[in-house]
Structures are given as structure tokens and as C-alpha cells.
A and B are shown apart, each in its own frame.
Chain A
Amino acid sequence: MKREKTLVALAGQPNSGKSTVFNALTGASQHVANYPGVTVDKMTGHYRYDGIRMEVVDLPGTYSLTSYSLEERVSRDFLLHENPSVVVNVADASNLKRNLYLTFQLLEMEIPVVVDLNMMDVAERRNIEIDVKELGRQLGADVVPTVIRTGKGKKKLIKSIRMASRSEKPFQPLRIDYGPMEPFLAKIETRLSMEKSISGKYPPRWFSVKLMEGDSEARELVRKHLAGADEILGFVEKERHSFESEHDELPERHIAFRRHLVADKISKTCIRPKEDTKTPLSDRADKFICHRFLGPAFLVGVIYMLYYLSIVQGYNITNYTWPVLAKFRSLVESILPDPGFIAEPLIRSFSLWFVDSINALLNYIPIFFILFGLIAILEDSGYMPRMAFILDRLFNKFGLHGQSTLSMVLGGIYVGGCAVPGVMATKGIPDERARLATIMIIPLLNCLAKVPLYVLMINIYFVEQKGLAMFFIATISLLIALPVAKILTLTVLKNRDTAPFIMEMPPYHIPTIRGVLGRAVERGWLFIRKIITIVAAIAVIIFVLLQFPGISDERQAYYSEEKEKAIATFYKKIKGSPYAEELKGENLMALILYWNEYKTAKMMTTGEEAAKELNQKFEEENPVFFKIVQPKKDRVAKKVNRAFKKLFKARKKLLREIKKEKIDNSFLGRLGHSMVPFTQWAGFNWRVNVSLLSCFAAKESSVATLGALYQQEEEGETLEKRMKKGEVGFTPLHALALMLFMVLYPPCIATTIMVKIQSGSYRWMLFSVIYPIILGIIVATLVFTGGTALGLSGLQAMFAFYGLALTITIGMGFVKAKNVK
């Protein structure tokens, strides 16, 4: 049996509903966004009809098919080189005239076109009546009206695609009349027809129009395929010149102009002019949403809600999801080999470390899911371009772009985003210089993983001014990011191309549940896949760096000795009691585990009933041990209990010392020590260095590593207390320098990879890692050493630095950057 396959390309202007058509046809859920320029990569899917496999490719939305922008090039190249059997031109019926401009260019390529006249519901609502038959006749192509969001017209569209793909009769589309340019086009066409090597490869009319346009890729094709390329291109150039001098107009402008004229003519004959001219709803809404005062207020409200719902409420959800993750950890713990008195099996410590690292990330999933869902709503509704509209002036002053807004919101413009989707979203920015600048500064924003360290520091060193300190840290990142963007724009990015900011403000849409959930899941999944795999890999490396080379034999012997001493003391104390016999040899370790297990279980149970049940269970398991754990009034048991508690504590202390010595002695610890000469000016000691080094994998490690470095002395002591105790010389000024260094911390591995993908070069990737380190050291040193020299308190230094950053930001805003085209 022969397997037939048909390639179908979806082309259309942004927001015409291409992605929705793609989803309707293939059933796949793909990005649907009411935001110009979201789809740059082409998406593929398929469906079956008549037993034939129809491959569908969703091309990026473009207003035209020149080769000026990346999207247009991607679409053009696909149509030209991949030989699709049919092009489905998705056109917005409520804006037919403008859409025809692209339709003509598709028709010119002489691939069978089916025009999907989408959004008929919107057109009807606006009283726009379209003579579909007449339109089809004039275009020379099938026109299918649809409301693809509700599925209306889908069957007919599928049938039309099939018909067009069979192409029994030659496709004879409308021929645009280029008026006074026709003789010039004819000359080029005649000249090209003499070249055997390309006859039949490309439509001759299309080729001559493109050459007359001065299209760079058409010229490239000539160079590639024709021997006498230079001569032909010279000939074309001459024709272009003579057209311009005769008609006082650039040939490419004239071509575009003619297309608009024809579009105007066709729309006049096929569209019944709308009768009422009342302003559309979207425009009336914009009166408020883009209002001089209400607009920015609304914008702040939207961003506030975004963070409130995702960070605050999402965090509340983690109260329910965390126990699940904790259960998972206990489960893993229970199947691992038991720890010894002072020696933990490597497999055990590694597995638990691994689970902890992954859990720390998985814990964020509810937050991200809500964040992604809300952002999908913003995109789908059409509010995003309004945000760009409102903020463009501000961002433009710093070398960024109105469309950087989405990236910055995702990256954490206030507190709590993620740089990975933020950097990913920069692909929608048409201006190359602004795009690169955005990519470079996104990691400076406050991603969710930086927050735990801030919270820790603020809770220890800025307790009195918690709110103020949090506001400082949340806004300082933007005050650093903006001047940095400007400096990059004026220096390394000086010669990059800029693009005009001509953006469509699409009408508002009510987001669909399917679209929103689909995207939240899709982005969430991407996050899980990309981040978790990378973090897992890095967790392994950090583990090795923290564990090895380990403790010397000498010290090991010392610890063994200490252990024997503690045990001997215990046995001496309980000598003669009936329990002494029961706790010999291996039983002692068993009691330690039993004790541990009981304590953990007890911590997790609430209510009297459950506690009783728990006691019963443990008593049944081992009545003798239970007696020691819960001696009640039994005097002998009480004595053993007391002695055992001492032993237990002694063991803990030993474990803590061993762990500390291990880290101290580890590769990472040594590195932390060796960096002190450099970092002392920023106020970082070796422990802080180690914790910062461990952040390279994922920043949430910072607090976990500090947690490991400041071991508990008493049960349930918080890290805040432990750190305060462990670092006597640490002041708020130290904490401030550390927090600012965290703001400027280089991107995590996952972000670094995304930077490579979006910037397309390893050099930018390296740059994005190195410049924040240098800047971070400078800022932290300035704050710590400068603050110490001036005798500033932490709070004073905070105000001073904020003032400095604000001044630089405002000053930078006035520096003008030259545009490059």
C-alpha cells in the first residue's frame, strides 16, 4: 500500500488565528497568543483525511513576505524550499483588506492557496458583510469562511485543503497589476527565461518581482544557481535605477503600494461597507486601559495581582504539596540502608542529597503553574501589547523595548519569576539590540530562587525593617538592570541592528480555558524537563565536590575513638539495669534508629487519637525499646532514658563535627577558603563563599548549603538562630553586601543554556555569566568596604546605595543611544 503524504503550510498575519487553526486541525495543543510575534519557531503536527496523512506546519505570523525580519525569512524559506502542496492562508475577516496584502504575496508564489476567512463571528459583530464567492473568484483561490475557535467551518476547510492538494487544474491565481512597473518586470522575466538552469524551479513572475524589489534572498538565489550571476544582477540593478529615476519612487515601495491599491479595490467590491461607525469595544476599553493616569495604575495593579496570586497564593498551596514531597523523601529514606553510629553509607547521603535538591525545585511547581497560567491569560487577552505600549517610552530610554515587558515580568520584575521563560520570551522582540540587552539583564531580576536567601538575611539582620528591606531588594534589581541595559547598549551592543516599534494593538479577546491551561502546562512541563534534568546533573557534581576528598584517616580514627568513649560511658551508666543486656552490640544502633523513627513519626501526627495509635504501634514493635523511649513512672527506665539521651546528643555532635570538617576539607570548601582574600572586601567569609559557589547549579542551594554549614545544636533550631550564633562578627552590612551580590548573581545553568539558544552564540553565553560576577564583586565591595569606611549601619548603607542606583538610573535615562538600521 502506498502511503501518501501531503504537506500543508499555515501562513497568515499575526493574530489571524493560525495557531488556533493548527490546533483545530491537528488536535495538538500549541501556543495560542494574542500577542504579535510569539510564534517564531514553526510548529508541526498532522491529521488524517481520506486515508492520507496531512502534515501541517504552523509558520510564524508575518504581515508580509520580504526578508527583513526573522519570522518573514523563516516563512518564506519554508514556502520556497520545502515544497508544500497547499498553503492555507488564515486571514482575519474583520480586517480583510490588510490581510489581502499578504495573501497576494502567497498567491504570487504559485503554490495552491486556500484562504481561510477566519473570525467571521467578529466580522459579523462589526456588521461587516463579505461576498465570499466574489472574493474567491477575484483571488482565483478557494475561500472558506470559519469561526475556528468554535470549530465552525472546519469540515469545509479540511475538504478544501484536500481539493487544492490534488490540483487537477493548474492553479491560476490573481495577477497583481504593478502598473508602470510592468514593462520593467517583463524585461527581467525575459532575461531570466533565457537561463535554463532555473526555468521551472521558481515561478518566473515571482522571481522578477522579488528581484525588482531588491530582495536580498532572491539575489542570493541568482548567485547560487546562475553562472552569469553578476551580469544578471547588474542588469536588474540598472532596471531598478531607471524605474526610480523615471517614477521618483523606490521600486519596492511601488510594489507594496500597488498591492495596497489592489487590496483596496477588491475589498471595495467584496465587502459591504459597515453602516454604523461606532468605535469598537476594544478602543473604548483602551480609553481607560491606556489612559494617562489610569493606565499606569492599572498596569501596576495587574503586575501586583500577578505576583500576589502566584507568589503569595501559590506559596500557600505549597503548604499542601510540601508534605507530599516530604513523604516521598521519607519513603526514599526508608528503603535506603540505615546510617551507622557515625558513618553514613555513601549511597544514603547521596540519595537524600539528590532528593532534597529535586524537591527544592519541585516545591515551586504550584507557583510556576499559576504564574504561567496568569501570563497566558495576559497574552491571550491582548493586554500584553498594551503593556508594551505603556512602557515602551521608559524601556526605550534604557535600550530596551516595549516588548521586553513580557520577558521582564516572567523574569521577576518585582519579586519571584524565573529567568528561563523570561529569556525564552525574548524571541518575540523584533529589535535585535533591545533583544540582546533584554537577554543580558533578565538574570539580574529577582527570580524565585534568590528569594530564600533574601528572606533569611532579612529575618536575621533587618528584623525591625522587614517591609522596607523587602521593598529595597525587590526594586533595587530593576534599578541595577536598567542602567546595565543602557551601558550594554552604549558599548558592546552599540553596532547591533535596531528596528522600528510598529506594533499592532489587536482587539481584546476573552481567553479560552483550554488555551490558558494548555500553555500553563506546556511551559510548566518545559520548566520541569529542562530545569530538573540540569539541576539533577549539577546536584551530583556539587555533591562530589562537597564530599571529597573527605576526612583524613587520622581524623577518622579520632572520631572512632570519640564514638567508643561515648558508648562506653553509656554502658557504664546503665550497668546492672535489666536493660543493659537488651542494648548490647547491634541493639544499641537499633535503638537509635527506633528513637529517631519515633520522634519523626510523632512530629508528623496530630491529635490525641493518632498519638495513641502511634504509641501502640511502636510498643507492639518493640516493647523494651518503647519503655526506654517512654519511661513514664518507671524509675529504672527513666535512668536509662536519661543516659541514652546523653549518648544521642553526643552522637549528634560528632556527626555535626564530621560534616563540618568534611565540607571544610572538601574541594568546594578549599575553594571557598582560597577565595577569601578576594571576597573579604565584600564581607564574605569562606562559608558564604561555599554557599555562593554551590549556587551555580541552582540558587535555591544557597540556603540549603548554609543550612548544612550551620548545623543544628538543638532539636528544631531554625537556621536563622543557628546562623546568628555561628557568625558572631556578621553585621547587617555583611548581609546587605551578600544580598546585593545575590541580585547580581550569574544566571543558573538552565538560564545559561537558554541564553545560548536565544542569543545564538557561546560568546554571549559566557558574557552573561562573567559580567554579573565582576559587577557583583564591585557592588558588594563598594557597599561593604565603603560602608565600613564611612561607618554606616546596614540600613544607612541600604539607603545610600538605593540613592546612588536611582541617580545613576535617572542619569542613564538621559543619555541618548544612536539607532542602527
Chain B
Amino acid sequence: MKLTLDALKPGNECFVKRLASRDILGQRLMDMGIYPGLKLKVVRNAPLEDPMELELDGFYLSLRHEEAKYVEVEQV
């Protein structure tokens, strides 16, 4: 089974492999700086578990798990 970003826990690091969304979500992810080959880290989950906070190359994004499902990753 493919590993996706939503399955990662805080502290985990990974490389982005593929964005599995063909629609606006995929484009938004790209525009916000999530692209194949990028290394990122899950920093924390929100107090109610969702959304999650990511660190990528010196800046921070928050993303819902439901959307993180579309980011295929490879854990480091």
C-alpha cells in the first residue's frame, strides 16, 4: 500500500513522491510549495488532531488530514 502524508505522526520526516489529486487541490499544494522531491516534516497536529502542521524548507503550513491523503510520500 502507498504511504500517504496523513498517516505520518508528528516528528516524522518524508520526501514527497507524487500528488495524487488531479484537481484544484493538487494545484494548490503545488502553489503552496509542496512538490515531488521536497523533503518535509510533520511538526504537530492541532489540539483536535486535525489539521496538521508541516515544516517545509523554513516555513510552516497547515493542512487537513483529509487533504494530506492526496500526498504520496516516502518516509526517511
Contacts and interface: CB of A to CB of B under 8 A. Distances in A.
Interface of A: 63-64, 66, 68, 94-95, 97-98, 101, 126, 250, 252-253, 256-257, 260-261, 280, 282-283, 286-287, 290-293, 295-296, 385, 388-390, 392-394, 396, 402, 499-506, 821
A66 B62 CA distance: 21
A261 B30 CA distance: 12
Contact of A257 (B22, B23, B30, B60): B30
Nearest to B30: A256
B62 A385 contact: yes
Contacts of B29: 500, 502
Contacts of B51: 389, 392-393, 402, 501
Nearest to A258: B35
6 contacts: A95-B59, A252-B27, A253-B19, A253-B27, A501-B63, A505-B53
Contact of B30 (A253, A499, A821): A253
Contact of A502 (B28, B44, B47, B48): B28
Contacts of B44: 286-287, 290
Given A292-B47, A392-B50, A393-B49, A821 B35 contact: no
Nearest to A394: B48
Contacts of B37: 260-261
Contacts of A94: 58
Interface string B45-76: 01111110101011111111001000000000
Contacts of B22: 250
A253 B25 CA distance: 11
B62 A63 contact: no
Given A260-B35, A393-B50, A821-B25, A504 B64 contact: no
Contact of A501 (B35, B55, B58, B62): B62
A303 B54 CA distance: 26
A63 B64 contact: no
A505 B61 contact: yes
B62 A502 contact: yes
A95 B62 contact: no
Interface string B2-34: 000000000000000001001111111111110
Contacts of B24: 68, 499-500, 821
A286 to B, nearest CB: 7
A390 B25 CA distance: 22
B50 to A, nearest CB: 4
Contacts of A97: 57-58
A293 B47 contact: yes
A513 to B, nearest CB: 27
Nearest to B58: A95
A756 B3 CA distance: 46
Nearest to A280: B58
Nearest to A282: B60
B61 A256 contact: no
For B32, B47, B50, B57, the residue with the greatest tally of chain A CB atoms inside 10 Å of its CB is: B47
Nearest to A96: B58
A283 B35 contact: no
Contact of B47 (A252, A280, A295, A821): A295
For A256, A283, A396, the residue with the greatest tally of chain B CB atoms inside 10 Å of its CB is: A256
A809 B60 CA distance: 33
A400 to B, nearest CB: 13
User: In terms of DSSP, what is the predominant structure of the interface of chain A?
Assistant: helix
B35 A68 contact: no
B58 A66 contact: no
Given A256-B27, A257-B30, A500 B64 contact: yes
B32 A504 contact: yes
Contacts of A505: 53, 60-62
Given A94-B58, A97-B57, A101-B31, A253 B26 contact: yes
Interface of B: 19, 22-33, 35-38, 43-44, 46-51, 53, 55, 57-64, 67
Contacts of B36: 257
Contacts of B64: 392, 396, 500-501
A260 B19 CA distance: 14
A239 B3 CA distance: 32
B23 A821 contact: yes
B35 A98 contact: no
A250 B27 CA distance: 10
B54 to A, nearest CB: 9
Given A253-B30, A257-B35, A500 B50 contact: no
B53 A290 contact: yes
Contacts of B58: 94-95, 97, 126, 280
B46 A101 contact: no
Contacts of B38: 260
Nearest to B35: A260
Nearest to A63: B31
A126 B58 CA distance: 10
A392 B51 CA distance: 7
Nearest to A505: B60
Contacts of A126: 58
B47 A296 contact: yes
A287 B55 CA distance: 13
A764 to B, nearest CB: 23
A389 B62 contact: yes
For A260, A389, A402, the residue with the greatest tally of chain B CB atoms inside 10 Å of its CB is: A389
Given A64-B30, A295-B47, 7 more contacts: A250-B26, A253-B30, A388-B62, A392-B46, A394-B48, A500-B67, A505-B53
A499 B43 CA distance: 23
B69 to A, nearest CB: 11
Given A389-B53, A393-B51, A502 B67 contact: yes
Contact of B46 (A64, A260, A287, A390): A390
A504 B61 CA distance: 4
A351 to B, nearest CB: 55
Given A290-B44, A385-B62, A98 B33 contact: yes
Contacts of B35: 256-257, 260
B47 A501 contact: no
Nearest to A68: B24
A257 B67 CA distance: 19
A66 B30 CA distance: 11
A270 to B, nearest CB: 15
Contacts of A385: 62
Nearest to A65: B31
B51 to A, nearest CB: 6
Nearest to A292: B47
B12 to A, nearest CB: 16
Contacts of A296: 47
Closest 5 A-B residue pairs measured CB to CB? A64-B31, A393-B48, A256-B30, A505-B60, A393-B50
Nearest to A95: B59
B27 A283 contact: no
A292 B31 CA distance: 29
B30 to A, nearest CB: 4
Contacts of A292: 47
A252 B44 CA distance: 31
Contact of B61 (A257, A291, A502): A502
